[in-house]
Structure 1
C-alpha cells in the first residue's frame, strides 16, 4: 500500500539527485542514471497487470491534512494502469533516445533530466491520485515541469514564447478545474474521487453539478489541446524532440483525456457533458487534420496531427458517455464501444506518434532541417529511418497491417452508431459526426503521406540541406524500432491487449456495466464489406488525390489568413493585458512610500472595518473588565497626547522623540501589569529603535513647508486615526465575541509542560517553537537566495539570449 506512494515520489526525488550525480561523475552521461528510474517503475507496473486484469484494484492512503480532508490517496485500477505503463514505458524509450540525441558537451543535461523526471513523477501523481486536491497539485506540477522542458533551450525567443504560452493556457484551465473540484467537494463533502463516483446519483440534481462539469472540462480541454485552446501545442514544438515525443504524444496531452475518462462515471449521461466532449472533440479532430496539411515544418505538422488525434479520442469518450444515460442496459452496449475505441486508440497513438516524433528528430539531427520544402530523396541515405517513418505514418493514416487501422475502423463504427442514437436529440445532429469524422480522416491520410513522400521520396536536393544526410546511430534508432514493433504486434494481437489492459480500463470507466454481456468487443481486422470499409477506401482515394493536387487547391487556406487566426487573437489579448496592467501599475506604483502605506492601510480599513460593520460584529462588553486605575489613566493620557503630537510635529526629531514616549509608556504598562521581562525587552527594543531613527533622520533634510501643510497631513491624520480606531474596535470586539473557551488555562501549566517559569518566554520558546523555527528558516532561505544571486552572477561575456 505504501509502495505506490513511494513510486510516485521516486522520480521527483531522483530529479533533485541528478545534479549531484552530475557533479560527482562528470564523465557520465546523466541519461544512463535517469534511465534506471522509468525502467524500474515500468517493471513494477507490468507486474501488476495480472491482478488488475482480474478486476482487482490497489488503493492506499497516507494522512496529510486531515482537517481539510487532504490525504495522499492513491488508486490503481485498469484506467490508471494504462497511463502508468505509457508514462514509464514510453518514458524509458524517450530517455534512451535522448542519450544519443542530446550532446553531453553542449547541453545542460543535469537540468534536462531533472525536469524530465520531475514531470514523470507529476504525471504518475495525476493518474494515481484519488484525492481531488492532490490530483490538482500534481496537475499543476506537470504544467510547471513542462514549462521548464519546453523552455530548455531558453536562449531562443521561440522556446521562451512557447513555454510561456503553454503555461498560461494550461494553468488557466487548471485553475478553472480547481474551482470545479471545490464545487464537487461542496456537493459531496469528500475529496475522494471513488467516493464521489459512488455518490453520482445523489448529486446530479444539485445546482452546482453542471457548473462543476463545465469547469472541469475546461481544465481537460486546455491540457489536451482541444479547440480553441489547441494553439499552445504547435509553439511547444520548440522543445527538444525527446520532450515532444514524451510530453506531446504520450503523456502530458493525454492528461486531459485521463481526466475526462476518470470523471465519466460522475458526469457521463449528462447532456451537457455529452455535447461538450463529443462536439469539441470531433471538431478538434477535423480542424487539427485540416491545419496539419498546410504546415511546412515536420514538427509543426506533427503538432497539428496530435491535436487531431487527441480530438478523435476525446470525441469517442463523449459519444461513449451516452451509455450512462438512464443507467446500464444491454440496449446501451453499442454506445460503450466508443469508449473502448478511445482506450484502444489512446494506446495506439502513443506508439505510432512517439515513433514519428523520434523519426522527425532523427531527420532534424542528421540532416539539419525539418523544412519539408528542402527535404526529399532520403530513402537511399536513411533506409532504416524511412522504414520506421512508413510504419508509423501508415498507422496514423489508418492502413493495415498497423494498429492504427484497427482503432480507426472502430472510430468509424462509433460515429456511425452516433447517427443512430436516440438520446440527446441526436436524430438531427447525429449525421454530422460520421461526415466530419470522414472528412477529417481524409486530411489525416493526406498529411501522413506528406511525411513519407515529401521527406524520403522525390528529388534529393543537397544544396538546400545543412548537413550531409546519413543514417542515425543505432542508439537513436532503438526506441523508434521498439515503438514500431509495437505498432505491428498490436495489429496482429490486439485481443491480448484487450484482455489484460483495455477490458479492466473499460470497467473502471463504466463500473455499472461489469455484469452486462457484450461490453468487451472482439477486435479483428476484417468485418466484411461494410460501410466502415467503404469509408476507409474513400479516405485512401481522396486523401491520395488531395496530396497529389495540393498545389491546385491549397488556396483554400487563404480563407483563413494568419492575421485572423486564434493565435493572433491570443497575442492581441496578451498584448492588451500587458499594456493595461502597465497603465494600471504606473498609476499606483508611484515610487512614493506614503502612497503605498495609504493603499495598505486603506485596504485594511475598507475590508476589516466594512466586515465588522456589515456583520454586526462590533460588540463591546466591559462587564468583566477590571477597573481602570488612576495610574493607568494618567499613562493613557500621556500616550494619547504624544500620539496627537506626532501628527502635528514640525520636525522629524520631534516626531521620533514623541514616538519614543509611546514605546516607553508601553514598557511602564508592562511594569504595572507585573511583566518585568516584557518591560525590559520593550525598553531595549525601544531604545535601539529610537537611536536608529535619530541616526537616520539626522542625515535627512527637515520637512519642507509643503510637507507640513494641512493638504499633505490631512490624509495621514485620517488614516492614522482610522487605523487606531479600527485596532481598538477589533480588540474590544474580540473581547465581546467569545466564540471559544480561552486557552490561557493551558499555558498556566507552562512550568510543568515546558520547564519555564516565565509564561511569555515559554510560549515563544516552546509552545510556538515551530513558528519561531520557521521564521528563522525563512531568513535562512532569503540569505541563501541573496548569496546565490551574487555568487552565480552570469559572466558579462556569456552567450547572448535571442531577443528578436
Structure 2
C-alpha cells in the first residue's frame, strides 16, 4: 500500500520533464495511467469475504510514528473513489485544458493531491494522517489558485487554505490528546480503547478539536464559505476535489472515529445538528445562485450535510445509508461538474441567466445533465441511484434511539421535518439547474461563443459516471455486500446486511419523497414569486463578510503592532529580545523547579582563578566606560584571553588554543575594521532610558548566571560523556577521544560547520570582490 500511496508523488517528480513534450502529446496522457493503475490494483480487494489488510513501515520510532496503513471497507471505498474519479478527471482534463496552459504545474499539483488523499484514508497512525491531511490543504490551495493571475482565484485559494488549515491544527490537538489518553498513535488501537476515551475528562475537548477539523474540511456550516469561492479553480479540480474527494475527507474522519465517539450522546447532537443545518442552508442558498458552479457548490454543501447528519445518528442502518450516498454523490455530482465545465467551455459562460434552450444545441450534455440532476433531486425512478440513498436517509431519520438529553429529544423529533425541508430545496435547485440551462428561451446573443456539443473525448468521463448512476440504480445490490456492507461495518463496528430495493410499500419514506417532489415542483414553478425572501434571509447578513472583516482586521492590527516596534532602532530590537528571553526562561524555570544550586561537587577555588576572574570582570566593566575604539578593542580582548588562561588551569589545552586563535582573529578583525567603526562618544540619554538599560542588563546577566549554575547542578539526563568514554576507541577506532567525537560521532555536525564556514568565506570574498569591481578601496 505504501507504493500505491507514494507512486503519484514519485511520478509528479517527472512531470516537469514530460510537460516539455506537451506540443506533441498532452501531459495528461502520461498522468492518466497513474490513477488507473491504482484503481485496478485495489479492485482486487472487492469481495464479499473481504478481510482488512494492515501494513507497517518504521519511520520515527522514538516518537511512535510509523507509516502504518490499514485497508478496510471504509478506506477501500474512498480509495476506489479517489483513484476511479481521479482517472476520469484526468481523462476529462486532457480535453478541457489547452496545451498552452501550464500543464506541468497542474498535473504536479493534481498528483500531490492524489497522494495526500490516499494517505489520509489509508493511514492508521494519527500523525501520519495529519501529515497527509495538511498536504491536501496545500495541494488544493495550489489547484484552486492555478489561474493565479485572477484575483478571485487567489482569494478562493487563500480562503480555503486558511479555514481548512485552522481545522487541521485543531484536529492535531485532538490527536495529541487521544495519544496521551490511550498511549498509542494507532487509530485501530484507539478504537479498541473506546471505554478509556469515553471515560476521559478530556473527551469533550478531543471531540471539539477533531470535529473542527472534519467540519472545516467538509464545508459544514458555518465553515462552508470557502467552498463556493473555490469554484474559481478549473472544472476538473472542482469535479475531483469538491465533489468526490477532498470535501469528503471530513466525512471520512467522522466515519473513522464513529466507533469511538458514537456512544457519547453529544456526538449525535453535534454531528447531526451541524449536518442538518448544513443540509438545509446549503440547499436553500443554492437556489439563489446564478453561476452553474455556484449552484453545484452549494448543492455539494447540502449533500455533505446530509451525509454528516446520517453519520451522527450512530446506527447501523444510518452508517449504510451514509456510505451508499457517498458513492452515489460522487457519481452524479462528478458528472454534473463536468457538464458545467463543458457548458462553460463551449459557450464561454456559466451564468444561468444567459443560458437556456441548449438542449437542441448540446443534446448529449443535456441528457447527461438530466440523469445527474434528477438523481441528485432524489426523483423516485428505478434507474437513478440518488433516490435509493435519499429514501434511506428519510428512513433512518425516523428510527433514532431515545436519549436522556432534552436537546437530543428535540432534535430527534425535528430532524425528519428538516430532512424533508432540505430535500425540497434540493429538488428545486436540481430542477433549476437543468431546466434553466437546457430549456426555455435561447440567449445566443449574450453568450461569448456559439454553443455546440463538446468533443467526444470530453464527454466520455461524465458519460461513464452517468452509466454508474444508472447501473447502481438498476442493480443496487451489485455493490452492496462486496463493498458497502464492509464500509458500513467499519463505521458501526457490527456486521451490516441490508437489501437495497426500489419498492418498500406505502410507508413513511415514500410519503416523504412524494412531499419533496410535490412541494419542490410547486416551489420551482413559482420560483420567481418567492425568491425575494433572500432579501430578508440572509439579506445583508453574510458569513463571508465576517471572514473578510476578521482577515482585514487581523492584517490591520498585525501591521499596527509590527510598526509599533519595527522602527529601525537596534537598541529596541535587542531590548525586546532580551526581555522576552528573561520572562519566558525565568517563568519556565520557576514553574518547573529549574533553579537548582548544589555546591557539594564543586572543586576548590584557588587564588590564581580569583585573580584571573577579577581581571576579566574589570576588563568587561572597562569596555562600558571606554571612550576610545582601540582601547575598547584591547580591553575586550583581555576578557577572551583571560578565558583562555582559565581553560589552561582547568586542563583543557585544546579549548584554550581554540579560544586563543578565535580571540586573536577577532581582535585583528576589529582593528582591520577600525576605520569604519563609529566614534565612541557619550550619549545623552534620560535617566529612564539608563534605568531600563541597567535593569535589562542585570536581569539578563543574572538569568544566564542562574542558568549556568542550574545546568551544572541539575542532572536530568545521563551524561553523554560516559558513552563517548566507553565507545570512542572500540567504535571510532581512535585513541584521541576529541578527534573521534568530531570525526565519527558528530561527523555530520562537523561537516556542516565546515560548510557554514565555507559559505561565510565565499560571502566575504564576494563582498571584497564587489567592492574592488566598483573601484572602492
Contact map agreement 2:609 2:646 (CA 8 A) in 1 = yes
Contact map agreement 1:650 1:708 (CA 8 A) in 2 = no
Q: Using the TM superposition, give the Cα deviation of residue 543 of structure 1 relative to its aligned residue in structure 2, in angstroms.
A: 1.5
CA–CA separation in structure 2 for the residues paired with 1:549 and 1:25: 50
Q: Secondary structure, in 3 states, of the residue corresponding to 1:158?
A: helix
The alignment status of 1:481 with 2:463, answered yes or no, reads yes
CA–CA separation in structure 2 for the residues paired with 1:571 and 1:699: 50
Q: Using the TM superposition, give the Cα deviation of residue 764 of structure 1 relative to its aligned residue in structure 2, in angstroms.
A: 2.8
Equivalent position to 2:91, from 87, 90, 96: 96
Contact map agreement 1:352 1:395 (CA 8 A) in 2 = yes
What is the match of residue 113 of structure 1? 107
CA–CA separation in structure 2 for the residues paired with 1:314 and 1:697: 72
Q: Using the TM superposition, give the Cα deviation of residue 277 of structure 1 relative to its aligned residue in structure 2, in angstroms.
A: 0.6
What is the match of residue 742 of structure 2? 764
What is the match of residue 331 of structure 1? none
Change (3 A) 1:778 1:700: closer
The alignment status of 1:48 with 2:53, answered yes or no, reads no
Q: Using the TM superposition, give the Cα deviation of residue 33 of structure 1 relative to its aligned residue in structure 2, in angstroms.
A: 1.4
Q: Using the TM superposition, give the Cα deviation of residue 756 of structure 1 relative to its aligned residue in structure 2, in angstroms.
A: 4.3
The alignment status of 1:590 with 2:594, answered yes or no, reads no
CA–CA separation in structure 1 for the residues paired with 2:729 and 2:103: 56
What is the match of residue 766 of structure 2? none
Contact map agreement 2:332 2:465 (CA 8 A) in 1 = yes
Give matches, 1:383-462, under 5 Å. 383-399=363-379, 400=381, 401-418=383-400, 421=402, 424-425=405-406, 427-462=409-444
Q: RMSD between aligned alpha carbons?
A: 2.3
Equivalent position to 1:248, from 236, 242, 245: 242
Change (3 A) 1:24 1:640: farther
Q: Using the TM superposition, give the Cα deviation of residue 160 of structure 1 relative to its aligned residue in structure 2, in angstroms.
A: 0.7
**Deviates further, 175-184 or 252-261:** 175-184
Q: Using the TM superposition, give the Cα deviation of residue 552 of structure 1 relative to its aligned residue in structure 2, in angstroms.
A: 1.2
Q: Using the TM superposition, give the Cα deviation of residue 701 of structure 1 relative to its aligned residue in structure 2, in angstroms.
A: 3.3
Q: Secondary structure, in 3 states, of the residue corresponding to 2:627?
A: coil
The alignment status of 1:21 with 2:15, answered yes or no, reads no
Q: Secondary structure, in 3 states, of the residue corresponding to 2:399?
A: helix
Contact map agreement 1:562 1:568 (CA 8 A) in 2 = no
Q: Which whole-Å deviations, capped at 9, do the CAs of 1:147-193 have from their partners, x for residues lacking one?
A: 11111111111111111111111111111111111111111111111
Contact map agreement 2:6 2:115 (CA 8 A) in 1 = yes
Contact map agreement 1:62 1:73 (CA 8 A) in 2 = yes
CA–CA separation in structure 2 for the residues paired with 1:449 and 1:778: 67
What is the match of residue 721 of structure 2? 744
Equivalent position to 1:340, from 320, 332, 347: 320
Q: Secondary structure, in 3 states, of the residue corresponding to 2:66?
A: strand
Q: Secondary structure, in 3 states, of the residue corresponding to 1:564?
A: coil
The alignment status of 1:364 with 2:364, answered yes or no, reads no
Q: Using the TM superposition, give the Cα deviation of residue 752 of structure 1 relative to its aligned residue in structure 2, in angstroms.
A: 4.0
Q: Which whole-Å deviations, capped at 9, do the CAs of 1:703-726 have from their partners, x for residues lacking one?
A: 454367765554444333333322
**Deviates further, 691-700 or 341-350:** 691-700
Q: Which whole-Å deviations, capped at 9, do the CAs of 1:393-420 have from their partners, x for residues lacking one?
A: 11101122210011111111112224x7
What is the match of residue 352 of structure 1? 332
CA–CA separation in structure 1 for the residues paired with 2:528 and 2:440: 16
CA–CA separation in structure 1 for the residues paired with 2:756 and 2:244: 39
Equivalent position to 1:608, from 577, 582, 585: 585
Change (3 A) 1:150 1:662: same
Q: Which whole-Å deviations, capped at 9, do the CAs of 1:437-479 have from their partners, x for residues lacking one?
A: 1111111111111111111111111110001111111111110
Equivalent position to 2:155, from 145, 153, 161: 161
Q: Using the TM superposition, give the Cα deviation of residue 352 of structure 1 relative to its aligned residue in structure 2, in angstroms.
A: 0.3
Change (3 A) 1:486 1:651: farther
Q: Using the TM superposition, give the Cα deviation of residue 104 of structure 1 relative to its aligned residue in structure 2, in angstroms.
A: 1.3
Contact map agreement 1:45 1:81 (CA 8 A) in 2 = yes
Equivalent position to 2:78, from 83, 88, 92: 83
Q: Secondary structure, in 3 states, of the residue corresponding to 1:409?
A: helix
What is the match of residue 634 of structure 1? 611
Give matches, 1:280-291, under 5 Å. 280-291=274-285
What is the match of residue 537 of structure 2? 560
Change (3 A) 1:656 1:546: farther
State TM-score, norm by structure 1: 0.90
Change (3 A) 1:759 1:551: same
CA–CA separation in structure 1 for the residues paired with 2:28 and 2:393: 38
Q: Using the TM superposition, give the Cα deviation of residue 565 of structure 1 relative to its aligned residue in structure 2, in angstroms.
A: 0.9
CA–CA separation in structure 2 for the residues paired with 1:733 and 1:86: 58
The alignment status of 1:522 with 2:512, answered yes or no, reads no
**Deviates further, 95-104 or 5-14:** 5-14
Q: Using the TM superposition, give the Cα deviation of residue 103 of structure 1 relative to its aligned residue in structure 2, in angstroms.
A: 1.1
The alignment status of 1:619 with 2:596, answered yes or no, reads yes
Q: Using the TM superposition, give the Cα deviation of residue 587 of structure 1 relative to its aligned residue in structure 2, in angstroms.
A: 1.6
What is the match of residue 657 of structure 2? 680
What is the match of residue 549 of structure 1? 526
CA–CA separation in structure 2 for the residues paired with 1:27 and 1:148: 26
CA–CA separation in structure 1 for the residues paired with 2:348 and 2:248: 30
Change (3 A) 1:370 1:736: same
Q: Secondary structure, in 3 states, of the residue corresponding to 1:430?
A: helix
CA–CA separation in structure 1 for the residues paired with 2:409 and 2:539: 37
CA–CA separation in structure 2 for the residues paired with 1:175 and 1:776: 38
CA–CA separation in structure 2 for the residues paired with 1:783 and 1:383: 71
CA–CA separation in structure 1 for the residues paired with 2:743 and 2:541: 64
CA–CA separation in structure 1 for the residues paired with 2:388 and 2:44: 27
The alignment status of 1:257 with 2:251, answered yes or no, reads yes
Q: Secondary structure, in 3 states, of the residue corresponding to 1:417?
A: coil
Change (3 A) 1:574 1:193: same
Q: Using the TM superposition, give the Cα deviation of residue 742 of structure 1 relative to its aligned residue in structure 2, in angstroms.
A: 2.4
The alignment status of 1:698 with 2:675, answered yes or no, reads yes
Give matches, 1:659-670, under 5 Å. 659-670=636-647
Contact map agreement 2:481 2:497 (CA 8 A) in 1 = no
Q: Which whole-Å deviations, capped at 9, do the CAs of 1:568-596 have from their partners, x for residues lacking one?
A: 11111111111111111112222222222
**Deviates further, 54-63 or 142-151:** 54-63
What is the match of residue 573 of structure 1? 550
Contact map agreement 2:21 2:27 (CA 8 A) in 1 = no
Give matches, 1:116-155, under 5 Å. 116-155=110-149
What is the match of residue 643 of structure 1? 620
Change (3 A) 1:496 1:204: same
Change (3 A) 1:505 1:776: farther
Change (3 A) 1:460 1:424: same
Contact map agreement 1:707 1:713 (CA 8 A) in 2 = no
Q: Secondary structure, in 3 states, of the residue corresponding to 1:144?
A: helix
Q: Which whole-Å deviations, capped at 9, do the CAs of 1:609-658 have from their partners, x for residues lacking one?
A: 23333444323223222223333222211211111122333355443333
CA–CA separation in structure 2 for the residues paired with 1:492 and 1:561: 40
Q: Using the TM superposition, give the Cα deviation of residue 68 of structure 1 relative to its aligned residue in structure 2, in angstroms.
A: 1.6
**Deviates further, 126-135 or 195-204:** 195-204
